Amino acid sequence: MPSRRSALSLFAGAGAALALGSPAAHAAPGRPTRPGSPFGRHGSPSHRLDALTLYVDPHGRGDFTDVRAALDAATGTGRTLVIAPGTYRGKLSVPADRADLTLIGASGDPRDTVIVHNDAAGTPKPDGSGTLGTSGSASVTVQAAGFTARDVTFANDWLRSDNPEYTGTQAVAIKVQGDRSAFYGCRFLGHQDTLYADTLALTAFARQYYRDCYMEGDVDFVFGRATAVFDRCHFRTLARTDLAAAPYGFVFAPSTAGANPHGYLVQRSFVTSTAPDGYYKLARPWVPSSDLTAHPMLTVRESHLGSGIDAAEPYGTMSAGFPWQDQRFAEYRNTGPGARITDPADRPQLSRAEARTHTPVDYLGDWRPCA
| Residues noted as catalytic | 193, 220
Cβ atoms 309, 282 nearer than 8 A: yes
Quickly count: other Cβ atoms within 10 Å of residue 151's Cβ.
27
How far is Cα 306 from Cα 337, in angstroms, rounded to an integer?
6
CA neighbours within 13 Å on the CB side: how many for 120? 19
Burial classification of residue 30, based on how many CB atoms lie within 10 Å of its CB (0-12 exposed, 13-18 middle, 19 or more buried): exposed
Amino acid at 320: A
Quickly count: other Cβ atoms within 10 Å of residue 245's Cβ.
7
How far is Cα 21 from Cα 201, in angstroms, rounded to an integer?
36
Helix%, strand%, coil% for the chain, nearest 5: 10, 30, 60
Furthest-apart CA atoms within the chain: distance in Å: 63
Do you find a cis peptide bond into 247, omega within 30 degrees of 0? yes
Burial classification of residue 155, based on how many CB atoms lie within 10 Å of its CB (0-12 exposed, 13-18 middle, 19 or more buried): buried
Q: Which residues, including other chains, have CB under 8 Å from residue 351's CB and lie 6 or more apart?
A: none
DSSP letter for 33, please: -
How far is Cα 291 from Cα 256, in angstroms, rounded to an integer?
10
